[in-house]
Amino acid sequence: MLFQKIDNPFYRKKKTIQLNGELIQLDQPVVMGILNLTPDSFYDGGKYRSELEALRRAEEILVQGGTMIDIGAVSTRPGASEVGEEEELLRLLPAVKAIRNAFPQAVLSVDTYRSTVVERVFGETGGFIVNDISGGTLDGKMFEMVAKLGLPYIVMHLQGTPQTMQKSPSYRDVVGDILLDLSEKINALKLLGVNDILVDPGFGFGKNISHNYELLNRLDSFRLFELPLVVGLSRKAMIWKLLNHSPADSLNGTTVLNTLALMGGADILRVHDVREAVETVRLVAELKK
């Protein structure tokens, strides 16, 4: 059985997050469009390096039905080169400012693992969702910073670092181990007063292909947290390596896996291909009626 429905009324997933004094509703799944400001991301590196290109991409995400724009300035693909804080900010700040000015109602997410970057971007642009691929492991001050600024926080599971994560990742039980790791981080965040927490199992981050499909097969296990679930499967190696092609040929596989993720309880799909993901959300919603 690919997934198991949990109808126990004990589980009451949080369906809103608060940002800039407003409630963002997650009673239906939404799409988060990816905006990579990097020259070396695994799929679209180098496409959106200027302010104008970033604005066009942001507009495309919104026009195609995306609810959130996830902006990142450091590639976290396996083996990616490390980027210093100043370089990250040089890429990030102009784009975030321009998008905030052009689309003030847009829900922005900033993909960074540095607490100092969070503080600087917040000070110059206002509130956003913090999307930390390391779940606080690469910067011990991240949890305190998120609590201090009152920002929503995506806590993702990562084994190792982006430079080492695909070197023989190992688990006793991939789902059980990740649930334990995330539960400890969620408890730490709650003790600091962080109220808006989202959970990401971290597909591809310190997992081999078998680990990734086991995670997807048991995705409904993450309902245990009663928190919004973020899933990022878009054009990842778990698709193109298995099918023996490339990220550029992985849209169909992405759509298939996004469908399964929605059936397993995903609330936010983080994707490169927004229109296709929005259509997938609509079709699955009709199926679930």
Which residues are tagged catalytic?
236, 270
Q: What is the spatial distance between Cα 134 and Cα 206, in angstroms, rounded to a whole number?
A: 11
Of 136, 207, 133, 200, nearest in space to 167 by CA: 207
Task: Please report where in the chains the tokens 């981050």 appear, as a residue.
Answer: 205
By C-alpha distance, which of 12, 32, 105 is closest to 268? 32
**Long-range contacts formed by 282-289: CB under 8 A, 24+ apart:** 283/259, 284/29, 284/259, 285/28, 285/29, 288/263
Distance (Å, whole) CA 37 – CA 286: 35
The radius of gyration computed from the CA coordinates of the chain, to the nearest angstrom, equals 18
User: 155, 186 in Cβ contact below 8 A?
Assistant: yes
* Three-state secondary-structure class, residue 54: helix
Which tokens go with 273?
Answer: 């291909």
| Inter-residue contact 227 to 187 (CB < 8 Å) | no
Residue ranges of alpha helices (H) inside 158-236 are 174-191, 209-217
Identity of residue 240 = W
Closest by alpha carbon to 121, among 83, 91, 164? Answer: 91
